[in-house]
Chains A and B, each alone.
Chain A
Amino acid sequence: MLSKVGVVGAGVMGVGVAQVCAQAGHPVTLVDVGAQQLQRARKLIERQVRIDHMMGRSAGADGDPAARIRYETGLQVLEACDLVVENAPERVEVKRPIYEGLDEHCAPGCVLIANTSAIPIAKLASYTSRPAQVIGVHFMNPVPLRPTVEVVRAEKTSDEVVDFTCRFLESIGKRFVLVNDGPGFVSNRVLMLTINEAIRALEDGVADAESIDRIFCECFGHTMGPLATADLIGLDTIESTLDVLESEFGDPRFHPAARLSDTVRRGHLGRKTRRGFFDYRA
């Protein structure tokens, strides 16, 4: 099944989603408000596709996947899409006008997939006139390498949309775990508290960053500790996800640790800026 896929947001997640969809053969339109961001996205995708080719790992459909992606700056170009994956920054005030715009421009049958870390899907669906067509898919970073996603069914999501989404995910080679709606779903409700608490342990001088992560890797057998995971996800995303969870649950346990906010303010966002809790400058 090939679908016309729209991808909104050309940040780390949007780029990954566009890439895997194109590699599976789906025609993709990647939309972002920033022309510069789109240019960067094009370069990254072309580079990654070339690297996969170089390594003999060109997956999926024949032809050049990078050539299946169009880069555009307005939501109106998504009118012919069968589905749209929204990857805007994790703030309701940013996402809300996007859902209103998608509702205005997309065909009535178009499925709207929210790739959000923590915002309840029902809330995003309420900004449209088609809540049955809205579903959550929490992709993991890096999208091309993570085999499984969390699919989030909101109360009003229709059975057909759940089925369609699961078939689409199979077409791009992703396995999925279906869960019900709620702030942070399962993944981030649990993970964000762990990361935040690991940062607080660091603040309190209980251990240094390396020791904290070693406990998880060597004692619990995790492949990555909470601080390295935070660096991989992006510390700005961690902070905004915690903000969402704190406001949705009204629970101060989710209040971002001071050291996290300081690190973000200094512009050290983890791997993507080569500095976070660890240094990646080599």
Chain B
Amino acid sequence: MKMETARDVIRTFLTDSLDAPDLGESEDIFAAGLVGSMFALQLVEFVESRFEIEIENEDLELENFNSVLGIVRLVERKRPA
């Protein structure tokens, strides 16, 4: 069985939650108006619990959360090597 990558997990979470099956990996989910602040909080909590990392306030920058690729990069940076 193929291992699910961080990219798969994040993409599935976003496409399912936002009902946006065609979401591009670098598409800006905030600019597209797909996301409210309640979902943004859920997204942060999902990333923390799913990847067992702690998101600090300093990590709450647009480029870390506004796209699948941005979140993947954040997760890779925060995960223990």
Contacts and interface: CB of A to CB of B under 8 A. Distances in A.
A139 to B, nearest CB: 15
Contacts of B40: 51, 54-55
B37 A50 contact: no
Nearest to A281: B49
Nearest to B36: A145
Q: Which secondary structure dominates chain B's binding surface? A: helix
Interface of A: 46-48, 50-57, 142, 144-145, 281-282
Interface of B: 13, 30, 35-38, 40-41, 44, 46, 49-50, 57, 60-62, 65
A51 B50 contact: no
A46 B58 CA distance: 11
Contacts of B61: 54
A12 to B, nearest CB: 12
Top 4 A-B residue pairs of the complex, sorted by shortest distance between their CB atoms: A50-B60, A51-B40, A50-B57, A54-B60
B37 A48 contact: yes
B13 A282 contact: yes
Contacts of B38: 142, 145
Contacts of B46: 282
B41 A47 contact: yes
Nearest to B40: A51
A147 B20 CA distance: 27
